[in-house]
Amino acid sequence: MNVKRLGSEWKNISTIVVYGMGAVADRFLDKILQDFQVPYIIDYKKQGKKYHDIPVISYEMLRENIRQEKYKIVVMTSQRVYSEIKRILEADNFVEMEDFCRIELFAIEWYRANRNMMNILQVNTAVTTWCTLNCEKCNMFMPYYGERKHYTLTEMKEDIDILLKYVDYTFLYSFLGGEPFLNKDLKNIISYIGDTYSDRIGKLGITTNGTVVPDDETLYQIKKYQVTVNISDYTAVVPYQEKLDRLIDVLKKWEIAYIRNHMTEWKDFGFPNKPFHWGKEGGHDHMKSCSPLFHGINDKKFYYCHVIWSADKAGIYTAPESDYIDLTELEPDNEADKKKVWRYALGDCERGFLGFCMVCGGCGEDNDKAVVAGIQSKKM
């Protein structure tokens, strides 16, 4: 995928306008506020409110002010929503990469050019391939796993240690599964990362389905390091409301920040039962349409799309070397190798697209197939 670059107009700016006040902004905005003045946040649904005394207003109300003040706009949304916002801004003659850009490119490109920092926006790591649910269209392909495992503290240390030899800062480091709270070593993993890398990781997060209440030692570490618990709620189709309520009660008792996401629909990846066939000519556009904000680190390999790691691990896809970067084969003191990791995080890969993109529907606007989230599979 050919990566566009920010124009010279962005050099040494200190003020930006943020577009979007949803889940993406919730993950990354606080770090941006440490480094930039943000006079306004644009959001239709939350206009009239304030975030840290910053007024949230509609685009229509701010449009002329942006033009007059020549504010740069950083869009904090998913790729799908970004595409919609891009059409709105371009209709008003704002130019992508000159006047506005998406948060991931800004976090990686701007900090490299102006602070000489190799940043990554979001990195996910799987701490277990065991799960309490068996979702038919799981985007980590849990029903297809034969052998499962909990990753140890030693393995997780190796992953984060080697990644941060090449990366100066990541805005969010998130633990996934399977179901992360099944891994009894999670408390030690959180403690190690929190103690060792608090100055190089903006936020820590855990994604859980809400079926497991962690023990007090794990809760203590979550509280200590201000880990946000992201709950994917599938109770609309899976009957575990009592367990979910118990988890939320415990999180409230410990005053732990959590976000409850009512999951009703997923994009249907198609793979592996009905894989897509985008073809080489469509690969570039398809990868660009998906453009995940999250990347992955597991087994000392860095993945532009973490889904690839899990499909490979589940035994339903054999990832070619072009689908990831094996960090053990690079040299952290080699500037070219560090830049390779940095560019890869922006989607700059060998062929212009990943092999897995040829068979996966992805989460972009070019995939109009959807399924009910959480339907349980009989595959075990």
Instruction: Give average pLDDT by consecutive 10-residue segment, the chain, 380 residues.
Output: 76 96 92 96 94 95 95 94 95 96 93 92 97 96 95 98 96 97 98 97 97 98 98 97 98 97 95 90 87 94 97 97 96 92 88 91 92 86
- What pLDDT score was predicted for residue 80? 85
- What pLDDT score was predicted for residue 5? 80
- What pLDDT score was predicted for residue 6? 87
- Provide the 10 A C-beta neighbour count for residue 308: 22
Paired strand residues for 271: none
- What pLDDT score was predicted for residue 74? 98
- How far is Cα 317 from Cα 168, in angstroms, rounded to an integer? 31
> HSE on the CB side for 302, CA within 13 Å?
28
- What pLDDT score was predicted for residue 2? 58
- What pLDDT score was predicted for residue 349? 84
Geometric angle at alpha carbon 24, from 18 and 29, rounded to 5°? 50
**348: which 2 tokens?**
């700059």
Burial group, residue 73, by CB count within 10 angstroms (0-12, 13-18, 19+): buried
> At 174, which amino acid appears?
S
